[in-house]
Structure formats: C-alpha cells, structure tokens
Amino acid sequence: MDEKFASKFEIKILNELTNKTFDDLAIILKKIGGLDYRKKVYIGNICLGILEFDLKELKWKFQPYAGYYLIEKPKIKLKNTKKRIKGKKISTDLIENLDEFKSLQDGYVGVEIGNYVGVGIKKGDQLKIKDLIQK
C-alpha cells in the first residue's frame, strides 16, 4: 500500500468534515482502491476512517471507523447485552438514550456499550452496528 503523511490541504478537509483539529498530529494516509481519491486515515496504529472524494456528488466525505470514536464521544449509549451485536440490526429497546437517537439524522453514528465503542449506521428507526473496538 502507498502510505504518506497528510498534506495541509488533506488535514484542512479532515478538520472541516469532522469538526476536529488535527493540525498538530502526525496523520498517515494509506491509499486504497477506488475510482479517484480514497485513503484510510491513521493516527498511530488506530484507523479513524476513510477520506474520499465522491465523483458523483463532487464533494469530500469521511466515513468513520470504530477507532474514530476513541477521540470523538459516541452519541448513542447501548445497554449491556450478552447477544452478539456486531454486524447486526439491533432493537430500539437496547438503546438507553432513545430520544437522542430519534433526533439524529440518518448516517454514521458513534455507539458505546460497556468497555466498547464503535460505529453504527442509522436508517430511520433502525440501527445496524458496523464495528466495535475495546476502549
């Protein structure tokens, strides 16, 4: 894979998309397959997500991975369960802050359950857990 440090322009794009300040951090970008610009974003050995330029919409996008929610506080808290939830759609009775969940827009959301944080995809009143990692 092709690896490089993020340029000032790429850091500026990340700052705008995430509402964070990555100016003083050493960010590594690893090129991955795609039509145009598509790279995994790393700080240390933690993958934060994918930075890409969408050729259809002609705009930059950031797709967060579970590692991103180690630096960003997750919005959704889940009740502890013995069920395996990674990769599954979960019922709303497992969501502790259901009112906040319903007020969020569809798309990627941070989730927290016990000692784990991760990323889920909200679509309507459903939540699918995409990935979890230990804090």
pLDDT tens for each residue of 74-128: 899 999 988 899 999 998 889 999 999 999 999 999 999 999 999 999 998 899 9
User: Which pLDDT does position 36 carry in this prediction?
Assistant: 80
At 7 the pLDDT is: 93
pLDDT for residue 34: 73
Confidence of residue 131 (pLDDT cuts 50, 70, 90): very high
CB 102 within 8 A of CB 69: no
Q: Structural domain boundaries of the chain?
A: 3-64, 70-134
Name which of 135, 45, 48, 121 is nearest 85 in CA terms.
121
Report which residue type is found at 134.
Q
Going by C-alpha positions, the residue among 133, 1, 2 that lies closest to residue 68 is 133
CATH of domain 70-134: 2.40.240
Condensed to tens digits (0 to 9), the pLDDT of residues 29-60 reads 999 987 788 999 999 889 999 999 988 899 99
Residue 69: per-residue pLDDT: 93
Q: How far is CA 107 from CA 29, 93, 101, 130, in A?
A: 23, 20, 12, 12
